[in-house]
């Protein structure tokens, strides 16, 4: 198994290259790079070539801590605020509906599997953690875990993380497929052409040393500034997610023509998104499930019920009112996978206008998830 962080990073980068090549040269082009890179790295992790979720790696922590937020920052540099008007209200409403569906799914799932009997003293914590992570993301998941001291239950925690990431990867596949199915059946809104600049999405660019240096410098500075502002606001008694601050900084810069057209941002952003998804693939740890015995099946059943109820509500309302299924898919992915997954899905669906709404509701989920998670845990 690769243990050197540089070798692990090289494998992740190579997996992105392999996924892109497969999408361009083979029938896998119908799946898209986002999905293929998850599958490729999941294979490496479960074959033992690279560390899995239960084994962990500083590389994975670094990708989540730095590259995932930076991917959001760089891609938002090319987004005009006018795009929010094309999917703002439906996206927000579907996201909030998805959050309610998550909470309802946790309650229903725990009832169906006899959560108190299966998990005992961990029942409230597990209820809150899955509510939090499928409303906002891992930030909420870990916040609730720390409160209930779940970090000390190593095997159970690893098993929960494995189940979480397996279902998250599966849900990415589902949210890629459902819009196509709804349109084929004629139950979704007819997709309209989106008025965006021809060069909004740039997967290949001529990047100069000057533009690359400015992008990296501004990105690192903005990430540091977002952390500093978040701490400052916390001292004042305001709990504002760092990703929301970083999003705000990116949006301000994006309204300046110089930053809006600075070459290289899209390439950096897309590559960082694919590295983030590669780590999601590495976290699809099938071996960790076997370490917790029958609890693995209980957890898998619980999470399956959660996402099924969540998805039924979101896509059911979408079908009933003939809303845009792409908007529903991105809103759902913002719940289940978080901001970066929502952005990656918008990219895979070729919906540049959904970049900003997906990121914004994902950031909202970071703020809402912990509160909703503690509410469900307290009622458990």
Q: Chain centroid to CA 199: how far?
A: 25
- 342 pLDDT above the threshold of 70: yes
The domain segmentation of the chain, as residue ranges, is 5-189+206-379
Looking at residues 371-376, what average pLDDT do you find? 91
pLDDT band at 289, cuts 50/70/90?
Answer: low
Residue 285 CA to residue 14 CA, distance in Å, equals 20
Predicted local distance difference test score (pLDDT) of residue 148: 83
CB-based burial of residue 311 (10 Å sphere; 0-12 exposed, 13-18 middle, 19+ buried)? buried
Predicted local distance difference test score (pLDDT) of residue 55: 76
Write the pLDDT tens digit of every residue in 302-333: 999 999 999 999 999 999 998 999 999 999 99
Predicted local distance difference test score (pLDDT) of residue 48: 86
Looking at residues 77-83, what average pLDDT do you find? 64
Residue 196 CA to residue 80 CA, distance in Å, equals 9
Look up residue 378 and give its two tokens.
């307290």
Residue with tokens 């891609």: 75
pLDDT band at 82, cuts 50/70/90?
Answer: low
Write the pLDDT tens digit of every residue in 181-213: 887 776 555 454 344 443 334 455 667 888 889
Write the pLDDT tens digit of every residue in 91-107: 999 999 999 999 999 99
Residue 66 CA to residue 35 CA, distance in Å, equals 22
* CA neighbor of 215 nearest in space, from 343, 81, 80, 73: 73
* In this structure, CATH architecture of domain 5-189+206-379: Up-down Bundle (1.20)
Neighbour tally for 46: CB within 10 Å: 16
Write the pLDDT tens digit of every residue in 225-276: 999 999 999 999 887 778 778 878 988 888 787 886 678 888 888 898 889 8
Could you tell me if 343 and 273 are in contact, meaning their C-beta atoms sit under 8 angstroms apart?
A: yes
Predicted local distance difference test score (pLDDT) of residue 362: 83
Predicted local distance difference test score (pLDDT) of residue 35: 72
Neighbour tally for 212: CB within 10 Å: 16
Predicted local distance difference test score (pLDDT) of residue 79: 65
Write the pLDDT tens digit of every residue in 124-174: 999 999 999 999 877 788 778 877 888 667 668 777 877 887 888 889 889
Could you tell me if 329 and 173 are in contact, meaning their C-beta atoms sit under 8 angstroms apart?
A: no
284: left (phi over 0), alpha (psi -120 to 50) or beta: beta
Q: What percent of the chain has pLDDT over 70?
A: 88
Look up residue 159 and give its two tokens.
């098993």
Looking at residues 109-117, what average pLDDT do you find? 93
Q: Out of 22-31, 114-123, 271-280, 294-303, which region has the weakest mean confidence (pLDDT)?
A: 22-31
The per-residue pLDDT of the chain, averaged, comes to 83
* CA neighbor of 342 nearest in space, from 283, 252, 276, 253: 276
pLDDT band at 81, cuts 50/70/90?
Answer: low
Q: How far is CA 253 from CA 28, 72, 241, 345, 362, in A?
A: 36, 13, 19, 24, 20
Position with higher pLDDT, 117 vs 284: 117
Residue 279 CA to residue 8 CA, distance in Å, equals 10
Q: What percent of the chain has pLDDT over 90?
A: 32
């Amino acid at each position: 198994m690769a243990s050197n962080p540089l070798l692990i990073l090289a494998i992740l980068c190579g997996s992105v290259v392999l996924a892109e090549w497969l999408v361009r040269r083979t029938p896998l082009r119908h799946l898209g790079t986002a999905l293929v890179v998850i599958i490729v790295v999941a294979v490496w992790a479960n074959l033992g070539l690279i560390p899995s979720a239960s084994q962990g790696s500083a590389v994975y922590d670094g990708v989540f801590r730095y590259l995932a937020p930076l991917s959001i920052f760089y891609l938002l540099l090319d987004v005009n605020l006018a795009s929010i008007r094309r999917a703002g209200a439906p996206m927000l409403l579907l996201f909030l509906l998805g959050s309610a569906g998550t909470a309802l799914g946790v309650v229903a799932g725990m009832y169906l599997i006899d959560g108190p009997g299966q998990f005992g003293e961990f029942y409230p914590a597990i209820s809150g953690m899955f509510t939090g992570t499928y409303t906002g993301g891992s930030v909420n998941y870990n916040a609730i875990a720390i409160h209930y001291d779940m970090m000390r239950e190593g095997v159970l925690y690893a098993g929960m993380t494995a189940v979480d990431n397996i279902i998250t990867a599966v849900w990415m596949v589902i949210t890629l497929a459902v819009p196509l199915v709804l349109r084929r059946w004629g139950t979704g809104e007819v997709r309209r052409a989106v008025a965006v600049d021809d060069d909004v999405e740039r997967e290949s660019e001529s990047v100069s040393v000057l533009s690359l240096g400015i992008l990296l410098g501004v990105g690192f500075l903005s990430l540091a500034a977002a952390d500093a502002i978040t701490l400052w606001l916390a001292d004042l008694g305001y709990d504002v997610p760092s990703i929301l601050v970083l999003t705000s900084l990116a949006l301000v810069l994006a309204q300046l023509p110089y930053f809006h057209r600075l070459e290289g941002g899209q390439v950096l952003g897309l590559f960082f998104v694919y590295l983030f998804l590669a780590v999601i693939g590495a976290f699809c740890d099938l071996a960790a499930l076997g370490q917790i015995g029958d609890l693995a099946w209980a957890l898998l059943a619980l999470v399956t019920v959660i996402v099924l109820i969540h998805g039924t509500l979101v896509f059911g309302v979408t079908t009933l009112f003939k809303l845009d299924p792409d908007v529903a898919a991105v809103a759902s992915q913002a719940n289940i996978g978080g901001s970066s997954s929502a952005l990656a899905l918008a990219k895979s669906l070729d919906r540049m206008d959904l970049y900003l709404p997906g990121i914004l509701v994902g950031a909202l989920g970071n703020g809402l998830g912990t509160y909703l998670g503690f509410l469900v845990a307290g009622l458990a």
